[in-house]
Amino acid sequence: MSIADAARSERKLSQVGYYRLSGYWFAAREFVRDLQQNVVLCGVTGKPLRQDSFLPATTFEDAFSLYLFDKRLRQLMLDAIERIEIRVRTVTAHEVGFHGPMAYTDARFIVPKQTQNWTDRNNRQRNTWLEWLDRQNALVARSQEDCIEWHKQHRRAIPFWVAVEAWDFGTLSKYYEILKGSHQNRIAQRLGISNTRTLKLWLQEINTLRNRCAHHSRIWNQVSANRLPDLPAEPYFQALNLDHNALTRLYGQIAIIWFLVQRIGPSSDWIRHVADVIDSKPDLPGCPFGSLGLPSENGFPRQLFGI
């Protein structure tokens, strides 16, 4: 690796940490190859093995720029996910809370199977609904939101539309997952989505992305084990024509997040900011746009998004 300014590089390593930064230059390391020049795979992970030497033209500055690029992407993802989280919270509280202010504590709104005991692989007795309720109660108990504090101080029951202010995205996503289909349908329709299973999987993956962003984890070159579904009948997704690579990487998540954001705030220009950041990706060897799931190496496909 070429290091133009040793003192600055040393300072950045001490600030950020070697192993954190190494995740950004990992893809620039040479592959281990056999005598026939085939890439050797790890016997455990099945991923290509890497040498300690780097591809030509690899620089520390580009690797650190990639780290900053990833940071800007995370900030943009959190901005959009916040809007989605608040919207889904509000719609859920309205559609289910309509039946009663304490409906979120009532198992009658939950798929019966989710309220039954089951045994996990460690032979422990589990109950998905009761576990969710315990988690929800814990979040409300430790919340310091003024609206929740007021209800506690006045010894009043905390209604649905107040309790959701304490929920995190994971709690919200899980609640939607275990709701009966009729309630899922109404929530999905309010978001302009025709398939409840698709929304369930979207919320799960958006929650995973949100957690990675919130914990400052790398997102630019991550591959999901779960291929995201799209909505094939929607002209939006027909135009994008997302392939498997896109739907298991950040580009597919961006497309889905933008689909939701447009329904929340039609005047949003979030996607333009995303395009600008993605087009600023450093040209580090081994780190193509395909690592993000983009369809070509020409940068962000602005024309497909009308920008």
What residue segments make up the domains of the chain, in order of their start? 6-58, 66-305
Average pLDDT on 160-188 reads: 96
Q: What is the pLDDT of residues 185-224, one digit of tens each?
A: 999 999 999 899 999 999 999 999 999 999 999 999 999 9
CB 228 within 8 A of CB 205: yes
DSSP conformation letters of 220-232: TT---SSPPP--T
Q: What is the pLDDT of residues 97-129, one digit of tens each?
A: 999 999 999 999 999 999 999 999 999 999 999
Global pTM value: 0.92
CB 228 within 8 A of CB 259: no
Share of the chain above pLDDT 70, in %: 100
The amino acid at residue 263 is: R
**Under DSSP, is residue 190 helix (H, G, I), strand (E, B) or coil?**
helix
CA diameter of the chain: 76
**Under DSSP, is residue 145 helix (H, G, I), strand (E, B) or coil?**
coil
